[in-house]
Amino acid sequence: MRKLLAPVLFILMLHFSLADYSITVTYPNGGEVITTRYVDVNWTTTDFDPNDQVTIYYDTDNNKDNGYVYVYGPVDNTGHFEWDLMQMPDGNYYVYLRITKVSPYIVRDDYSDGDFNKAGFDWNYSSNAVSIKVNKQHAPDVNVTYPNGNETLSGVFDINFSVLDIDEDKLIADINIELHKFYKELVISKCSQFLENKLSWNNTVCSTSGTLHYLEYNGDDANYLSKSIYLGDVNRLISLEISARNANVYVRFSDDNSSWTGWQQYSNGVTLLNGAYDYFQYKVIFTSPFGKFFSLKIKFVLSNYSIFIGNYRLDDPNICIDADNNIATANECSVDYNSAMQNSDANVIVKVSDTVLEDTDKSDAEFTIDNNPVILDVFVSDQNSNSAKINFSTNEPTTFTVYYGKTNWNDNSQTVSDSNYTHSHLLTSLDPCTKYYYKICAKDAQNNETCTQVMEFYTTAGSTTLNNPNSGTFSQRYITVEWNQDAGEDTISLYYDNDNNFENGAILAEKGISDSGSREWDVLQISKGQSYYVAVRRVCYDPIRNVTTYAIDYSDNAITINEFDANKQRAFNTRVNKQHAPDVNVTYPNGGENLSGTFSIDFNVSDPEGDILTADVNINFVDAINWLYHFS
């Protein structure tokens, strides 16, 4: 009974045809005795649409709530289906059909009015040859054609296979690459904190990358976290690499998750194992206080690792082509695969299924995926005034060369011949506070080479030694301050202090001084009759890291500055640092010219210290001077 209300008559009229939509089993519909291998199941539908999909089932009763058995489908709504009864035991069965309308979505079903009897038959006899095409009597046949053994491939390449299915079923292909040596990475980057005297995670402020495996709290040790990783029966762990920050890492291995090797502490780098394992377990013991950042990265190499490439419908013309439109010949199929960051012997495995029967084929022999190595996670650490450490990792074991220089990236080079996944190399004999250009080139066992772009880093401030003054009494306006000179980009700040402890305060006398090695210090404004320590502070700014480093040195003893007659001091209005006088050269007019009105007076000026200069310009008119300008 249709339970719709009169006030919504327009809705009732709109959906009248859908409410009446139905499927009806017409054969076999009860009482038939079937003695042939194939039976033609027939049905009718209201609101016929050939795009509707029908699924065929059978049942020992006509109660779908207690279960029924799948036969085949969905198939197009053709009104009939050839059903192969060969696999069914003799007995009485109801036919149960379900039809699905795609748009608008609606499902209807129907049982046969009664059961039919399936009796014995000669299975070699086929009553209708055309039924073979529908009823899955033949499994599809798949054959991998490329790569099929001994090829060396890289980047993106085609995987080609042929498929033969004389039933012309709708086929699905699952494609996998089996790598016999696969590199995989597990990255944990978390923050730890105490919560009710137990270790927990602060997921709000902590970041993760890669495939995250949460570490588990072990109540026996508040500094102890552990996790077991199961690699699978097929995938075997053959090498392992660990790098950790603010934590010590211990690892052990097992084949059965019960008989474990002893715990071993792993330092940064690659460790090859004696044999292969299905399980490994790691534990972390923190070396920094809780609440501090720690990171953990585990890289492991597996054997026979299978990568699922994809699931493909073979009726897609972009995947398979039936060139001759002949069901007796194979269709040619092809998909693209991007092998980036993989280097291994490999096989292609293709499984084709028609939902009932399937066939699998594997490339006849191993082929080689041989890509250039990939350089990852480049950073510079441990920078000081004359050294810096270059760090990076690669997706396969490589040797490497670091090129570096102050002017050009390839002024110098250092090569490391040890082949690893993780790499660190200390560059020494560098100049303080200097920008260096560098580039990394990594090479694998097959001599495939990858290089980074040119990058930069800075060294830190070099040491500072105050040479003069180190003691004495001065009764003059200008005191020469001298220090060791560096070749870097740092500047010098000059201080004076009541003691030789910079941390409790010092008075800045002048900053931004070029590192010339000396400076004339004007003490006119400093209180006289007192003793002061003199300090020279080297300042080095690193714009890449936005970090400033310093080096400072105090005079060995305090100096005393007495009163002096400032009027008797020379007025060095052209320079502050009197180690080198500036040099001036008049270039125009320079003799012999006849001039009138307005004309230019040109001159060149050089100053080794780069001081702030002033110039007085005048014209001498036969023993009389007419001052024109005074300017800076």
For tokens 């950042």, the residue is 293
Which domains can be identified in the chain, with CATH numbers? 18-133 (2.60.40.10), 141-180+306-370 (2.60.40.10), 182-303 (2.60.120), 378-458 (2.60.40.10), 466-568 (2.60.40), 583-631 (no CATH)
Q: What is the pLDDT of residues 207-262, one digit of tens each?
A: 333 333 334 334 344 444 455 665 554 455 666 666 666 667 777 777 777 777 77
Which pLDDT does position 495 carry in this prediction? 93
What integer is the mean pLDDT of 42-70?
A: 81
Distance CA(251)–CA(298), nearest Å, equals 11
Instruction: Note whether 271 and 207 are within 8 A (CB).
Output: no
Residue 612's pLDDT is 65
pLDDT at 189: 46
Q: Residue 307: phi, psi to the nearest 5?
A: -110, 120
Residue 431: which pLDDT band, with cuts at 50, 70 and 90?
A: very high
- What would the DSSP string read from start to end of 145-194? EES-SS-EE-SEEEEEEEEE-TT----EEEEEEEESSEEEEEEEEEEEEE
pLDDT band at 3 (very low <50, low <70, confident <90, very high): very low
Binning pLDDT at 50, 70 and 90, where does residue 325 land? confident
Which of 131-140, 485-494, 562-571 has maximum average pLDDT? Answer: 485-494
Residue 487 confidence (pLDDT) above 50: yes
| Average pLDDT score, the chain | 77
Question: Does residue 516 have a pLDDT over 80?
Answer: yes
Question: How far, in Å, CA of 536 to CA of 538, rounded?
Answer: 7
Report DSSP letters for 516-550, one per residue: SSEEEEE-TTSPSSEEEEEEEEEEEEETTTTEEEE
- The yes-or-no verdict on residue 204 having pLDDT over 50 is no
pLDDT given at position 196: 35
pLDDT in the model for residue 585: 83
What percentage of the chain reaches a pLDDT higher than 70? 72
**3-state class (DSSP) for residue 496:** strand
CA distance 193 to 197: 9
**31 with 94: CB under 8 angstroms?**
no
- Which pLDDT does position 205 carry in this prediction? 33
Nearest to 495 by CA among 526, 535, 455: 535
Give this prediction's pTM: 0.54
Phi–psi pair at 14, nearest 5 degrees: -65, -35
Asked if the model's pLDDT at residue 629 lies above 60, the reply is no
Among 377, 373, 371, 421, smallest CA distance to 397 is for 421
Annotate 281-307 with DSSP letters as a single string. Answer: EEEEEESS-TTSEEEEEEEEEEESEEE
What average pLDDT does range 496-501 have in this prediction?
89
Choice among 186-190, 489-493, 601-605 with the minimum mean pLDDT: 186-190
585-621 residue pLDDT tens? 888 888 888 888 788 888 888 776 666 677 778 776 6
Confidence check: pLDDT of 576 > 70: no
* Contact yes or no for 309/175 (Cβ under 8 A): yes
Residue 318 clears pLDDT 50, i.e. is over it:
yes
The answer to which of 137-151, 169-183, 285-299, 418-432 has the lowest mean pLDDT is: 285-299
Q: Which residue has the higher pLDDT, 354 or 350?
A: 350
- 614 close to 632: Cβ distance less than 8 angstroms: yes
Is the pLDDT at 518 greater than 70? The verdict is yes
pLDDT bracket for residue 399 (50, 70, 90): very high
Q: How confident is the model at residue 492 (pLDDT cuts 50, 70, 90)?
A: very high
Range of lowest pLDDT (118-132, 353-367, 393-407, 592-606): 118-132
370 or 565: whose pLDDT is higher? 370
Q: Measure the CA–CA gap between 404 and 407, rounded to whole angstroms.
A: 9
CA atoms of 228 and 238, how far apart (whole Å): 16
On the question of pLDDT at 317 being above 50, the answer is yes
Stretch 444-464: mean pLDDT, rounded?
Answer: 92
The pLDDT of residue 134 is above 60? no
CA angle 221, 224, 229 (to 5 degrees): 135
**Span 129-142, average pLDDT:** 57
Give mean pLDDT, residues 386-395. Answer: 90
Provide the residue type at 14 as one letter. L
Q: How far, in Å, CA of 272 to CA of 360, rounded?
A: 35
To the nearest whole percent, how much of the chain has pLDDT over 90?
31
- Whether 145 has a pLDDT exceeding 60, the answer reads yes
